[in-house]
Amino acid sequence: MMKVTQISVFLENRPGRLLQLLQVFADAGVNLQALSVADTADFGIARAIVADVDEAIAAIQAAGLTAATTDVLRVELPDEPGALANRVVQPLADAGINVGYVYAYSQRVGDKAVVVLKTDDVDRAVDVLRDL
C-alpha cells in the first residue's frame, strides 16, 4: 500500500472531451495506470493515476484543461471475494475513516488486485492499513 498522487481533470460532458484528455496523455508520452470518470449533466471529472504526474500536469495545462491533484491510496489486496470489504473498508470504517470513492487499478501485482481509494484522512488510513 502506498500514497499516490491522483490527477482530477474537469471536463465538459460532451462528445470528444474524454478523447481530448486521453490524447493529451498519449501525445506527452504519459502512461495511464488507472482511470475513473464520473459525470453530471454538464461536466465530468476524470480521475487518473499516471506514471509521471509532473509531465501529465504540464501537458494538461498546456492543453488549457483544468486539473487538481490529491493524495489517494493505492492498495494491493488478495484477488478473492470479500478482500476489499474485510481487509480494507472494514478496518477504515472501524477507525472512523470515510471512503469517498474507490476504483480499480489497471496493473496487477502478481496474484494481487489493486484498488485506489480516496479517504477523508489519507495519512491515518495508511497507518490503519499498514498495521493489518
Domain ranges of the chain: 2-70, 72-130
Residue 39's pLDDT is: 81
> 7 vs 72, 92, 119, CA distance in Å?
10, 23, 15
Take residue 81 and report the three cell numbers written for it.
471475494
pLDDT of residue 29: 96
Across 18-40, average pLDDT: 93
Q: Is the pLDDT of residue 116 over 80?
A: no
Model pTM score: 0.83
Per-residue pLDDT tens for 60-91? 999 999 999 999 999 988 889 999 999 999 99
Pairwise pLDDT comparison (89 vs 116), residue with the higher score: 89
Which has more confidence, 112 or 96?
96
**Residues ≥6 apart with Cβ < 8 Å to 42:** 12, 13
The pLDDT score that the predictor gives to residue 79 is 85
Superfamily holding 72-130: ACT domain (3.30.70.260)
Tell the CATH topology of 2-70: VC0802-like (3.30.2130)
